[in-house]
Amino acid sequence: MAIFNLKKREIDCKIVYYGPGRCGKTTNLEYIYKAFKKQVSGEMVSIKTEGDRTLFFDFLPIGLGKLKGCDVRVQLYTVPGQVQYKSTRKLVLKGVDGVVFVADSLKIRYEKNILSLKDLQQNLKDYDLSIFKIPLVMQYNKRDLAEKNIPLMSIEKMERDLNQQLKVPFFEASAITGQGVGACLKKCLMLTLQSLHKQLKWG
């Protein structure tokens, strides 16, 4: 649940990038941090965790307007995938407002994607959140690797594997070049704000 800061007239909400290890969550956030530098407030925090990194920064989306006269500030996070980091995961997922699930298009990562999505569902459940209700966007990352003749899964297959029941918006992306990254975040932000509207019964 978003936090209202009446002093600063700001609404803080939390968007989390989730996905299997090495799927490109960190690259997503690094790209956003660089490409939208003007909208970023404060430094990017990067914590080295085993096999992965946890990133965090504050983001002020432009062009989404105000909510009831309050600026919207977004905290962007990635979550370390390893089981042992349960304290970090708890902090990050508690009160999460929106999720971008980054799936790896590489054929060999087929199973890792599915396991990670199940893991997300369980972790959300632990905080009384439902994967079917939370604002969620799918990102099929690493599409650029097709040009290098690396075997990728087709979008149809990924949709079938991951999105058949969820039916959430999906984006093809290449976090390393930035393609699809902005659109994906924007969609997630919109869904998050709509959901906030609904939760607060504003109109």
Binding residues for other proteins (CB under 8 A): 3, 5, 7-8, 12, 42-43, 45, 47, 49-50, 54, 56, 80, 84-88, 91, 94
Burial of 70 (0-12, 13-18, 19+ CB in 10 A): middle
Nearest approach, Cβ of 90 to other proteins (angstroms)? 8
| Helix, strand, coil percentages, rounded to 5, for the chain | 35, 30, 35
Rounded to whole angstroms, what are the CA distances from 48 to 26, 75, 80, 182? 11, 19, 9, 25
Q: Which is nearer to other proteins, 11 or 162 (CB)?
A: 11
Q: In the 8-state DSSP scheme, what is residue 3?
A: E
Q: How many CA atoms lie within 13 A of 125 on its CB side?
A: 7
Distance, CA of 134 to CA of 98 (rounded, Å): 6
Rounded to the nearest whole angstrom, what is the least distance from the CB of residue 55 to other proteins in the complex? 9
Burial of 7 (C-beta count, 10 Å sphere; 0-12/13-18/19+) = exposed
Measured from the CB of residue 84, what is the shortest distance to other proteins in angstroms? 5
Amino acid identity, residue 51?
G
